[in-house]
C-alpha cells in the first residue's frame, strides 16, 4: 500500500474518477489540497471569483457533458458561499461533487478544532444536509479513497445529485497508507431494478388503447440519456411530446410532434393538448407546480402512467394510475416492445389532425415574428445563427421564460437553466462550465440585466482562463419578471424593480478585458452574434429592449394549464 497525504489521496482518487477540472477558490483550510495540486498535471484548476459561481460552473460542466462537475472551497465563508450553488444542483438533480476545507478534528492547540468555533468554522455538513444527496467528512486519510468512490457513485446513479465532502485540515496533511478502490460499498444504497414485465404490459395496454396519447417528459429523460427512446415511442404511438422546462432538449423542438414546453409560461399548444389527452405517459418529471400549474385540473381526463427512477416522485404531486420505478431508458425500451405488439396500426388519425391544428393555431413561433427589438425576434434570429449543437444557458426571470418559449432546443444537454431553484446569476457561470466541458462548441448565456450583475465578476475568470462564451443581455433596465407580477397581479404598484441604465455593459465587459457590443437593431444584433461566435474572447452583447414587455401567455397562479392569458 502506498503512503501519502490525505490531500494526495484525494487528488489521486479524483483522477481515478476521470476528473479533469475543478472550479474553486482557495483559503487556509483547503491549502494542503492546493499544495498537492501544484504538481498535478491531470487536473485543471479554474479560479472562480465567487464560490457560488464555482458551484454553478461545476453544474454547467455537468449539465453540458453528463460527467460529474467538481467545485472546491475553503472552510467557513468559502463553504457557505457554495450553498446556493449546491441547492441549485440538488433541485435540478445534477451530479456535482463539492469539496470543502474544514477546521482540524484535533490539533496541537485544542481551541483550533471542530466544534470550538475556530476562525472560519462553519458546520457545512449540518447546513447542507437538506440540499445534498449525501455528505461526508473523512476522519482519517485511509478512508478517503473509498469515500470518494462512494461519493461519485451516489452523485451519478439513481436520481443524480450533489455530494459534499468536508475535509478537516489535519486529514488533508496527515500521511498514511492508502488503498485505492473503484468499487463502491454502500450496502444501504440500493438502486431500482429493471421494471417488472407485468407492469410494463399494463402500461403498454393503456397506451395501445389510447385514442389521444401524449408524452410529458422532464429532465430525467436527459439524465437517463433516453431521448432516442422517446423519439421512437412518440413515432410509434403518433403521440405529441411536451417537455417540462427541465426537459427542454430531450425531444427536438423542430420535430413535427413536438409541442415545446408546458406550464405557467408554456407553449399554449402543449398546455391545451395535455388537457385533451386520454392517456399521459410522464417520464422523468416531478410534476412541479410550474409545469402543472393546478394539480386538480392537470390532465384531468387522462389516465396517467409515470416512469421515474425515484420512488418518492410517484404520487408526490400528481396521483398516477400506473407507475414504473426504474431507469427511463430501460423502461422505455421494454415499453416500446410491449406496446408495438399490442398496437393496432392506422389508428389515431383524428388525434394527429387535432395535434397539427392546435400547433398551427397556438404555437408562438408559428405566428408572425416581428422585425423589431423584441425577445421573440431576437431569440429566433439567435436560433438561426447558432449551430444545432450550440449550448444555451439562461439566467432567471423573463429572459428565461422567453428562452423557453422562443429558443428551440434541438439536442439534449443544449438548454441549461436553473429550473428548480430559479437562481439569478446561474446562467453565466454555467456557460463557463459548459464551455470548459465542450470546448469546440458555441455557448451563449441568454441573460437579464439583473441576473448578469449577480455573477458578472466571472468575466475575469472567463478572460483569464481563456473560456470564451457569449452573453446576450436582454437589457430591460428592470427586474423584469417581478415587475411583470407587480404589473399584472399588484395593480402596477411598482416597487424596487428599477435597475436604471447601470452599469454600462459594454464598458463593464471592456473593464474585464472582454469584448462589449451594444446593438440597436435586429441586423446589428445578428452581426454582433456572428462577431462573438468568431471571437477568441468572451463577448457581452448589450441588447436594450422595452421595460414593460410581458412574457405571454401566462397562467396566473392557481389557474389550470389551458387558462392562459395574454395576447402573444
Partner 1 sequence: MESGKTKVISVLVENKPGVLHSIANLFRRRNFNIESITVGATQQKDIARMTITVNADEKTLDQVVKQVAKQIDTLTVEELEQGTFVMRELALIKVNITVSKERSDVINFVNVFRGRIIDVSTDSITVEITGGPYKIDAFLNLMKTYGVLELARTGITALARGAKSIRIDE
Ligand X SMILES: Cc1ncc(C[n+]2csc(CCOP(=O)(O)OP(=O)(O)O)c2C)c(N)n1
Q: Which residues are catalytic?
A: 51, 119-120, 169, 481
- Cβ at position 125, least distance to partner 1 in Å: 6
Stretch that binds Mg ion, among 171-179, 233-241, 475-483, 535-543 (CB under 5 A): 475-483
Show the binding pattern over residues 391-430: x = contacts ligand X (CB under 6 A), - = does not. ----xxxxx----------------------xxx------
Considering only 285, 476, 486, 564, the residue that binds Mg ion (CB under 5 A) is: 476
Q: What is the DSSP letter of 332?
A: H
Helix 375-385 vs helix 398-406: crossing angle, to nearest 10? 60
Compare residues 449 and 456 and give the one whose CB is closer to ligand X: 449
**What whole-number distance in Å separates Cα of residue 412 and Cα of residue 567?**
30
134 interface partner picked from Mg ion, ligand X, partner 1, none, CB below 5 to 8 A per type: partner 1
394-405 burial, b for 16+ CB within 10 Å, e for fewer? bbbbbbbbbbbb
Rounded CA gap, 562 and 564, in Å?
Answer: 5
Q: How far is the CB of 250 from partner 1 (least distance, A)?
A: 24
Q: Out of 60, 219, 448, 560, which residue is the one contacting Mg ion (CB under 5 A)?
A: 448
Binding track, positions 480-519, relative to Mg ion; x by CB under 5 A: x---------------------------------------
Stretch that binds ligand X, among 12-20, 208-216, 261-269, 389-397 (CB under 6 A): 389-397
Q: With respect to ligand X, which residue has the nearer C-beta, 100 or 418?
A: 418
Cell numbers placing 207: 397506451
Select from partner 1, Mg ion, ligand X, none the partner in contact with residue 189, using the beta carbon and a kind-dependent cut-off of 5 to 8 Å. partner 1
Count of Cβ atoms closer than 10 Å to residue 128 Cβ: 24
Partnered with residue 164 across adjacent β-strands are 98, 135
- Round to whole Å and give the CA distance between 427 and 400: 9
- Residue 187 site contact among Mg ion, ligand X, partner 1, none (CB < 5 to 8 Å, cut-off depends on kind): partner 1
Nearer to ligand X by Cβ, of 162 and 397: the residue is 397
369 CB-side CA count, 13 A: 15
CA angle 387–463–475, rounded 5-degree value: 65
Tell the smallest beta-carbon distance from residue 419 to ligand X (Å): 12
φ and ψ of 221, to 5 deg? -65, -40
* Residue 398 DSSP SS3: helix
* Binding residues for ligand X restricted to 464-493, rule: CB under 6 A: 474, 476, 478-482
Altogether, the residues listed in the chain come to a count of 568
Residue 188 is a binding residue for partner 1 (CB under 8 A): yes
* 187-195, 275-283, 296-304, 350-358 -> range binding partner 1 (CB under 8 A): 187-195
Distance CA 126, CA 114 (A): 13
Among 31, 231, 314, 374, binds partner 1 (CB under 8 A): 314
Torsion of CA 416, 420, 481, 555, to 10 degrees: 110
Complex with partner 1: residue 125 or 463, whichever CB lies closer: 125
- Cell numbers for 262, please give them: 408546458
Report in angstroms how near the CB of residue 294 gets to ligand X at its nearest.
Answer: 21
| Shortest separation between residue 1's beta carbon and ligand X, angstroms | 47
Q: Which of 130, 344, 345, 500 binds partner 1 (CB under 8 A)?
A: 130
Q: Which residues of 1-33 are buried (b: 16+ CB within 10 A; e: fewer)?
A: eeebbbbbbbbbbbeebebebbbbbbbebbbbb
Query: With CB under 5 A as the contact rule, which of the stretches 95-103, 224-232, 357-365, 468-476 interacts with Mg ion?
Result: 468-476
Q: Does 252 bind Mg ion (CB under 5 A)?
A: no
Q: What is the smallest separation between the CB atom of 427 and partner 1, expressed in angstroms? A: 27
Q: How many CB atoms are located within 10 Å of the residue 288 CB?
A: 18
Q: What is the DSSP letter of 216?
A: E
| Backbone region of residue 334 per phi and psi (left: phi > 0; alpha: psi in -120 to 50; beta: other values) | alpha
For strand 443-448 and strand 44-47, is the pairing parallel, antiparallel, or unpaired? unpaired
Binding mask 425-464 for ligand X (x = CB under 6 A): -----------------------xxxx-------------
Q: Which does 186 bind (CB under 5 to 8 A by kind): ligand X, partner 1, Mg ion, none?
A: partner 1
CB 88 within 8 Å of CB 55: yes
Cβ count near 376 (within 10 Å): 19
Q: Say if CB 540 and CB 473 are below 8 A apart.
A: yes
Question: Which residues in this chain contact Mg ion in the complex, by CB under 5 A?
Answer: 448-450, 476, 480
**Chain contacts with partner 1 (rule: CB under 8 A):** 125-126, 129-130, 133-135, 154, 186-189, 310-312, 314-316
Name the site residues for ligand X (rule: CB under 6 A).
395-399, 422-424, 448-451, 474, 476, 478-482
Amino acid at each position: 500500500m502506498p503512503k501519502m497525504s490525505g490531500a494526495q489521496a484525494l487528488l489521486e482518487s479524483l483522477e481515478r474518477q476521470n476528473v479533469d477540472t475543478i472550479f474553486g477558490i482557495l483559503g487556509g483550510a483547503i491549502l494542503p489540497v492546493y499544495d498537492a495540486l501544484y504538481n498535478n498535471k491531470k487536473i485543471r484548476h479554474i479560479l472562480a471569483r465567487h464560490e457560488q459561481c464555482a458551484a454553478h460552473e461545476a453544474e454547467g460542466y455537468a449539465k453540458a457533458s453528463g460527467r460529474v462537475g467538481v467545485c472546491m472551497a475553503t472552510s467557513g465563508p468559502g463553504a457557505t458561499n457554495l450553498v446556493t450553488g449546491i441547492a441549485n444542483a440538488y433541485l435540478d438533480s445534477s451530479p456535482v461533487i463539492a469539496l470543502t476545507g474544514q477546521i482540524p478534528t484535533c490539533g496541537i492547540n485544542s481551541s483550533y478544532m471542530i466544534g470550538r468555533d475556530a476562525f472560519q468554522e462553519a458546520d457545512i455538513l449540518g447546513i447542507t444536509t437538506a440540499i445534498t444527496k449525501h455528505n461526508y467528512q473523512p476522519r482519517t486519510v485511509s478512508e478517503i479513497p473509498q469515500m470518494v468512490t462512494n461519493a461519485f457513485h451516489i452523485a451519478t446513479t439513481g436520481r443524480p445529485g450533489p455530494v459534499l465532502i468536508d475535509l478537516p485540515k489535519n486529514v488533508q496533511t496527515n500521511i498514511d497508507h492508502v488503498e485505492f478502490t473503484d468499487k463502491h460499498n454502500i450496502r444501504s444504497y440500493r438502486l431500482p431494478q429493471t421494471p417488472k414485465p407485468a407492469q410494463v404490459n399494463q402500461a403498454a395496454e393503456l397506451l395501445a388503447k389510447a385514442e389521444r396519447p401524449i408524452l410529458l417528459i422532464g429532465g430525467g429523460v436527459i439524465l437517463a440519456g433516453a431521448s432516442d427512446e422517446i423519439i421512437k415511442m412518440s413515432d410509434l404511438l403518433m403521440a405529441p411530446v411536451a417537455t417540462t422546462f427541465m426537459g427542454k432538449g430531450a425531444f427536438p423542438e423542430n420535430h413535427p410532434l413536438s409541442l415545446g414546453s408546458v406550464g405557467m409560461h408554456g407553449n399554449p399548444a402543449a398546455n391545451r393538448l395535455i388537457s385533451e389527452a386520454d392517456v399521459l405517459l410522464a417520464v422523468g418529471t416531478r410534476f412541479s407546480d410550474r409545469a402543472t400549474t393546478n394539480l386538480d385540473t392537470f390532465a384531468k381526463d387522462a389516465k396517467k402512467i409515470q416512469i421515474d427512477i425515484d420512488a418518492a416522485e410517484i404520487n408526490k404531486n400528481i396521483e398516477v394510475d400506473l407507475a414504473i420505478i426504474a431507469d427511463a431508458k430501460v423502461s422505455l425500451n421494454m415499453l416500446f416492445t410491449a406496446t408495438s405488439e399490442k398496437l393496432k396500426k392506422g389508428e389515431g388519425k383524428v388525434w394527429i389532425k387535432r395535434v397539427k391544428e392546435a400547433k398551427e393555431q397556438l404555437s408562438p413561433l408559428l405566428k408572425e415574428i416581428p422585425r423589431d427589438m423584441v425577445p421573440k425576434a431576437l431569440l429566433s434570429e439567435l436560433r438561426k445563427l447558432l449551430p444545432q449543437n450550440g449550448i444555451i444557458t439562461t439566467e432567471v426571470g423573463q429572459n428565461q421564460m422567453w428562452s423557453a418559449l422562443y429558443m428551440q432546443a434541438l439536442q439534449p444537454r443544449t438548454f441549461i437553466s436553473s429550473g428548480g431553484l430559479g437562481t439569478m446569476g446561474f446562467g453565466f457561470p454555467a456557460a463557463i462550465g459548459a464551455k470548459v466541458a465542450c470546448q469546440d462548441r458555441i455557448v451563449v448565456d441568454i441573460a437579464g440585466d439583473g441576473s448578469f450583475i449577480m455573477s458578472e465578476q466571472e468575466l475575469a475568470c472567463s478572460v483569464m482562463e481563456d473560456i470564451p462564451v457569449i452573453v446576450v443581455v436582454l437589457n430591460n433596465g428592470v427586474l423584469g419578471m417581478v415587475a411583470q407580477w407587480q404589473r399584472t397581479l399588484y395593480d402596477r404598484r411598482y416597487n424596487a424593480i428599477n435597475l436604471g441604465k447601470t452599469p454600462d455593459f459594454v464598458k463593464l465587459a471592456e473593464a474585464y478585458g472582454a469584448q462589449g457590443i451594444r446593438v440597436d437593431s435586429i441586423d446589428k444584433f445578428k452581426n454582433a452574434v456572428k462577431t462573438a461566435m468568431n471571437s477568441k474572447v468572451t463577448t457581452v452583447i448589450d441588447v436594450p429592449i422595452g421595460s414593460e414587455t410581458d412574457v405571454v401567455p401566462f397562467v396566473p397562479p392557481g389557474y389550470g394549464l389551458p387558462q392562459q392569458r395574454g395576447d402573444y
